[in-house]
Structure 1
Amino acid sequence: MIERTYNVLFLCTGNSARSILAEGILRKDGEGHFIAYSAGSQPKGAVNPLALKVLGAQDYPTDGYRSKSWDEFAAPGAPVMDFVITVCDTAVGEACPVWPGHPSLAHWGIDDPSGVEGSDVDRAKAFVRVFQSLKSRISTFVHLPLASLDRFTIGTRLRAIDYQEGASTAVADGSGQHVESKAG
């Protein structure tokens, strides 16, 4: 049986840190089975240099990234996605484009390392933590037996990855508002 290659789009608001890290990790760890992309609802126009620094330090590719709009992937002629994964809590609540091909959708709540204040060391540590969190989730994802699972099961397992130990998740409180909590 010939295994197919899956297209995966990681979304975040600015497409400068988390979604870039996720794209880089999947580029390497899913090579031959997955094609990774990233985009943002409100792209910042530049990739955060700390994201590239962490990727490079972990021996992941650092070239070819750019901060771009998710509209590129909803336009005619764009690659059809099999999976669309939001990696920040603001993008999950936004009205997403209609994705051609009806991909499996999931949300993995990841804290924004760009928002960390403090010393350069503190900021770098935040990016490393996010890298490690994404690497753990992506490792689980690339080891799913996708070819043998039905669409519903794939979606359920993809969403369950967000609940790995230590994962940041958005949950509704009694008022219906979303608040941050830690799973596990």
Structure 2
Amino acid sequence: MTSKYKVLFLCRENSARSIIAEALLRELADQRFEVFSAGSEPAARVHALAIAQLRPGISDLGLLAPKSWLEFTGEWAPRMDLIVALDERVGEYHAPDFPGKPLFVQWDFADPLADGMTPDERARSFEKVFWQIVRRVTLFMELPRYTLPVVPAVTHSEPVAHERDIVCPG
């Protein structure tokens, strides 16, 4: 029996970058990953420009909604294998403790919702960030550790290897 790797993408508002990453990983490798996204200050809805970027290739946009990261901190919350922060403001030292002490990594992308952009600049920013996330998610899926589904824990007498760092070029 195998199970899926559980991945949580974090961003402050959970309306753009983390939503895009969640949707892409679910669409591209759903058979290997159970994917979530959340934020420290979730927006009321997914940003329209994020939906516009995803619409051509994502089969179920209805699954996407901003959520609080607190939904993933209780005893009842799913145990994540990996937390990926897409916003330095929700990095490891600002994020809450997640059950099971999952591996925590940071992927830095410009904020397409940053203040001071014209509508055209914002649209270009969303497109650029979208393609950067596509590239990073694709590279992540190809890492040897994530090419096969998780195998349940072995007996306590066998040694267990721990991955300390994930490095994705880009």
TM-score (norm 2): 0.83
1:92-107 aligned at under 5 Å gives the runs: 92=91, 94-107=93-106
CA distance in 1, matches of 2:44, 2:38: 11
2:45 matches 1:46 = yes
**Structure 1 residues 94 and 43, CA gap change in structure 2 (3 angstroms):** farther
Contact 2:43 2:66 survives alignment (8 Å): yes
Judged with a 3 Å threshold, the aligned counterparts in structure 2 of structure 1 residues 3 and 116 are, in CA distance, closer, same or farther, namely: farther
Matches within 5 A, 1:31-42: 31-42=30-41
2:157 is aligned to: none
Aligned pairs (5 A) from 1:131-150? 131-146=130-145, 150=161
Q: CA deviation at 1:79?
A: 1.1
Deviation track 1:89-120 (CA, whole Å, cap 9, x = no partner) reads 11116532211122111000111001164443
Give the 3 Å change call, closer, same or farther, for CA 73–4 of structure 1 in structure 2.
same
Name the counterpart of 1:120: 119
Secondary structure of 2:7's counterpart equals strand
Residue 124 of structure 2 aligns with an amino acid whose one-letter code is K
On the 8 A contact 2:92/2:104 being kept in 1, the answer is no
Q: Residues 51, 130 of structure 1: CA spacing in aligned structure 2 closer, same or farther, 3 A cutoff? A: same
The structure whose residues are more often strand, as a share, is 1
Cα distance in structure 1, aligned partners of 2:93 and 2:13: 13
Contact kept? 1:116, 1:123, Cα under 8 Å: no
Distance 2:45 2:93 in 1: 21
Q: CA deviation at 1:76?
A: 2.1
Number of equivalent positions? 157
CA RMSD of aligned residues (A): 2.1
Distance 1:151 1:56 in 2: 37
**Greater RCO between the two (CA within 8 Å, min separation 6)?**
2
Residue 130 (structure 1) aligns with: 129
- What is the CA deviation profile of residues 138-157 of structure 1, one whole-angstrom value per residue up to 9, with x for unaligned ones? 111111121699423xx42x
Does structure 2 conserve the Cα–Cα contact (< 8 Å) formed by 1:40 and 1:70? yes
Percent of paired sites with the same residue: 32
* Range 2-11 or range 136-145, more displaced: 2-11
Q: Assess, with a 3 A threshold, how the Cα gap between structure 1 residues 38 and 13 changes in structure 2: closer, same or farther.
A: same
Q: Is the 8 A contact 2:8 2:82 kept in 1?
A: yes
Distance 1:134 1:64 in 2: 19
Against the structure 1 CA distance between its residues 100 and 118, is the aligned structure 2 distance closer, same or farther, given a 3 Å change threshold? closer
Conserved? CA contact 1:27–1:35, under 8 Å = yes
